[in-house]
Amino acid sequence: MRDLPDSWAIKPARGSQGDGILLAVRREANNWYKGSGGKLTPADVMNHLRRIVDGGFSGDTAAEDAALIEPLIRPDKRIAGLVPEGLPDVRVISLREHPLMAMMRLPTNASDGKANLHQRAIGAAVDIETGIITRAMVVGEVITHHPDTGAKLIGHQLPEWDTVLEMSSRCSAAIGLGYLGVDIILDENDGPMILEVNAHPGIEIQNINQKGLRRAMALAGERFN
């Protein structure tokens, strides 16, 4: 426990939808604190690690799992002020090398600093051409400002949007998937970085954008064929 840094993320290797992710944003003496302010003692952390290793968050029939411990990435200052704590990310749905639809997921106090929609994070529609947030929702409720920070979301320009789209478009050839969801984080020091690529991304992005992916795929086919 003494070797853990002041801020970190612990994740199950077989987890899904954010289940089993534990985030610490700061340390005081021998304890850590979550984005919501909740205290994590060394015993709390050890118990969580045991649950992960025992397969408590594996989401399948696996009897065992592995815990991944990563340094906590700090968001780009141009988006950090939107959220109280935690790391927003951008999901881009692509058909081959063509980005179709995008959204940003923003942590809230209720989501414990996690950017997972089903844990009460905010889903914000991002215009695929400009990188500007056009609509935002949390648990089915349409909002215009972040409920914790009061920051205005609608009209916010995401930084380095051209780079985000370029990275998303390259993933298909690199991984060999024709349809995929690319999760990208905007790091304070290193800029856009790919967090993961999903072969079966969820379709909640359609509700956030109020657009259908089927229509977007048809338009992409007409445009690039």
Which tokens sit at 134? Answer: 């056009």
Residue 27 is predicted with a pLDDT of 92
Residue 170 is predicted with a pLDDT of 95
pLDDT by residue for the chain (225 residues), tens only, comes to 678 889 898 989 877 767 888 989 889 999 999 877 899 999 999 999 999 998 888 766 556 789 999 888 889 999 999 999 888 999 999 999 999 999 999 999 999 888 989 889 999 999 999 999 999 999 999 999 999 999 999 999 999 999 999 999 999 999 999 999 999 999 998 899 998 899 989 889 999 999 998 888 887 766 655
Residue 224 is predicted with a pLDDT of 58
CB distance 191 to 160 below 8 Å: yes
Residue 225 is predicted with a pLDDT of 56
Residue 37 is predicted with a pLDDT of 86
Query: Whole-angstrom Cα distance, residue 189 to residue 25?
Result: 17
CB distance 89 to 75 below 8 Å: no
Domains of the chain: 8-71 (no CATH), 77-224 (3.30.470.20)
Q: Which of 204, 194, 44 is nearest to 139 (CA)?
A: 204
CB distance 170 to 192 below 8 Å: no
State pTM to two decimals. 0.77
Within 13 Å of residue 67, how many CA atoms lie on the same side as its CB? 19
Contacts of 223 (CB under 8 A, 6+ apart): 98
Residue 59 is predicted with a pLDDT of 65
Q: Amino acid identity, residue 88?
A: P
